[in-house]
Structure 1
Amino acid sequence: MDTLTRMRAFISVVENEGFSSAARKTGRSKALLSKYVRELEDELGVLLINRTTRQIALTAAGEVYVGRASSILSDLESLNEEAREATGEAKGTIRVSAARTFGDAELGLSLVDFAKAYPDIGLDIHLDDNFVNLVEEGFDVAIRMTRLADSAMIARRLASLNFAIVASPELIERLGRPTHPTQVANYPAVIDSNSRLFSNWGFRDPVTNETINVAVSGQFTANSPVTVRAAALAGLGLALSPSFVVREDLEKGRLVTVLDEYMSSEAGIYAVFPHRRHLPARVRVFVDFLAAWFRKCDSHLNGAGNGNGNGAG
């Protein structure tokens, strides 16, 4: 049995915090994993793990070894990926994290189109409106719709992400159209609790370029842009929404936009991945595909207007 197999067994036991859980994760028996780790310890001549009936604990040598062993295996994986890339091969499975709104909206078609174009690459897609830790949770890439500020990650901007303040025509007829961001505080708001802006909406003065922050409140709060859209359609208040969510409503006049000239365009759709020396070929192919897909669809997704000379941003 080769050393790499034993190293992988050891790291699996450590990452899964025990032989039983590692056995379930890898599909190998607990006895076999125990045998591999014992052989690795015999080969090294040191004890790596202190075993008890309920848990494991790394020895001082184990603490040192697990870090270097993980780095070696990561470098080996990168080397294999580079070799496959050199021969034009991109295979394997990509674990993708994305917001539910991304997957459920037409943007999710980008993932479907990629799967059709690259049948040899598997997609394991997890939709979650919370930002996940890519490293800790084992994701290869995340699709994030935000004003990106995480310097610990590598990011590639795929597309612009426009936002709009929208309302039903009935609400505007009843309360009037706001002409300055500070007036928004006097209107009921429908609030998306997933948004980093939450109940403090940000605007940009078109003349001075200064930021204007306005605290909003209202009867209806939801952690879903799609549900917020429904509440806005029902006339419950102004809503801050990604333009792609309300594009069709604006085109058909079911919603109108306000304060377009004060909307910032700093947000974007990003592919985010952990810092690695060598990006796996399958991930590079995936990100390149998404970038091309969004270049083709960007104006369609972000360029909708409401038909009243007051576009969606």
Structure 2
Amino acid sequence: MSRIWNTTMDLSALSFFNLVALHGGFGRASRATGQPKATLSRRVRELEESLGVRLIERGSQTLRLTDEGAMLHARTEGLLGEIAEAGNDVAAGMGRVRGRLRVNVPLFFAHSALGRIAAGFARTYPDVQLDVTADDRFVDLAEDGYDVVVRVNPAPDETLVGRCFLRAGIVLVASPSLPRPRQAARGKPAPSVPAVLRVGNDPSSWTVVDGKREMTYRPRGVMWFSTPLLMREAVREGAGVAMLARSIVEDDLASGRLVMWGEAREGQAEAWVLHASRRLVSPKVSAFVNYLCDSYATPQAPVPAVAAGYKRGH
């Protein structure tokens, strides 16, 4: 019969175990925390005895967790951090928004809007230290240590909750110097156009609406970029046409640097602010999510509550 762990766990012993696992050994954990090495070893041994399993392989030059130890560390390290943070929040008063907030956002959003939003947030919450990185790669909140991420059209993820704060149509744009091909006669292949594409995206056709007319083009990839900012620059220089969110090219369309060949018949760009799905949400995370969404909420364009695949944040 398998052994069931008594639910009255020793959080202190569990905390000592996670310190040893985090620092990579008893000696390193002792030097980093000031806890005697003997105390760390004894408390970890007590935890192993209470569980009836070995968590750490002794005798090797470097620390090696057993499979059970690795699983316990992965499942409890974040929880203990939340408990400690909750204690700090209670001690400071739950209404106080404070601490370091790590945020990851796409490049275009960082360059076009985040400076203004971050400055306003800092004025409103002076006890929060914003730590922002900008890139378009996928980041894992837990592994990369972020509190909040902003993403465009993110894939559904049950480990995250979030709010959609901005929706924008997608348009097909080109430089005025690039000739626009005529539509083919009925039954003939759609005209081929040089296309600037997003990495990993190779569509077979684009269908857009220009006024009341529906137009179809066959994109012929000439270059691929990981960020829409580079796509926009290449299109400005006449390298080809591209499907981009209207918000990214609004100024270019107004100034005539780009022209619009049509608006996508289906689909739109959705900007989401996301954080970890957990029952206790840090006041600083809630404050940032609400401030960001409020920055885009107007009587003409209310902030959408949530779309399929994500749960509403707190």
Name the TM-score, length of structure 2 as normaliser.
0.73
The yes-or-no answer on 1:269 pairing with 2:267 is no
1:216 aligned counterpart, secondary structure = strand
Q: Taking structure 1 as reference, are residues 258 and 73 closer, same or farther at Cα in structure 2, changes over 3 Å only?
A: same
Q: Percent identity?
A: 25
Map residues 48-197 of structure 1 onto 2, 5 A cutoff: 48-51=55-58, 52-58=60-66, 60=68, 62=69, 66=73, 69-70=76-77, 73-74=80-81, 76-77=83-84, 79-80=86-87, 83=90, 87-146=94-153, 148-171=155-178, 174-176=179-181, 186-193=192-199
2: CA distance between counterparts of 1:122 and 1:191? 37
Map residues 173-252 of structure 1 onto 2, 5 A cutoff: 174-176=179-181, 186-193=192-199, 198-200=201-203, 216-252=219-255
| Residues 49 and 59, structure 1, Cα contact 8 Å, conserved in 2 | no
| Residues 178 and 259, structure 1, Cα contact 8 Å, conserved in 2 | no
Per-residue deviation, 1:133 = 1.5
Q: Taking structure 1 as reference, are residues 157 and 48 closer, same or farther at Cα in structure 2, changes over 3 Å only?
A: same
Per-residue deviation, 1:68 = 7.0
1:1-51 C-alpha deviation (Å, 9 max, x unpaired): xx86664443143245x139976xxx9538847455214235547364223
2: CA distance between counterparts of 1:220 and 1:82? 50
The aligned counterpart of 2:310 is: none
Q: Taking structure 1 as reference, are residues 22 and 245 closer, same or farther at Cα in structure 2, changes over 3 Å only?
A: farther
- Amino acid in structure 1 at the alignment position of 2:56: I
- Amino acid in structure 1 at the alignment position of 2:221: G
| Residues 202 and 213, structure 1, Cα contact 8 Å, conserved in 2 | yes
| Residues 19 and 33, structure 1, Cα contact 8 Å, conserved in 2 | no
1: CA distance between counterparts of 2:27 and 2:216? 49
1:276 aligned counterpart, secondary structure = coil
2: CA distance between counterparts of 1:291 and 1:188? 37
Name the TM-score, length of structure 1 as normaliser.
0.73
- Return 5+ residue gaps in structure 2 as ranges: 1-9, 210-214, 302-314
The aligned counterpart of 1:278 is: 280
Per-residue deviation, 1:272 = 1.2
2: CA distance between counterparts of 1:267 and 1:124? 26
CA RMSD of superposed structures (Å): 3.8
1:157-198 C-alpha deviation (Å, 9 max, x unpaired): 111133221111121xx2346699x977611111122xx6x2
2: CA distance between counterparts of 1:9 and 1:98? 35
| Residues 148 and 267, structure 1, Cα contact 8 Å, conserved in 2 | no
Q: Taking structure 1 as reference, are residues 185 and 115 closer, same or farther at Cα in structure 2, changes over 3 Å only?
A: farther
More strand by share: 2
- Return 5+ residue gaps in structure 1 as ranges: 207-211, 300-313
2: CA distance between counterparts of 1:49 and 1:68? 16
| Residues 78 and 278, structure 1, Cα contact 8 Å, conserved in 2 | no
Per-residue deviation, 1:294 = 1.7
Number of aligned residue pairs: give it: 280
1:251 aligned counterpart, secondary structure = helix
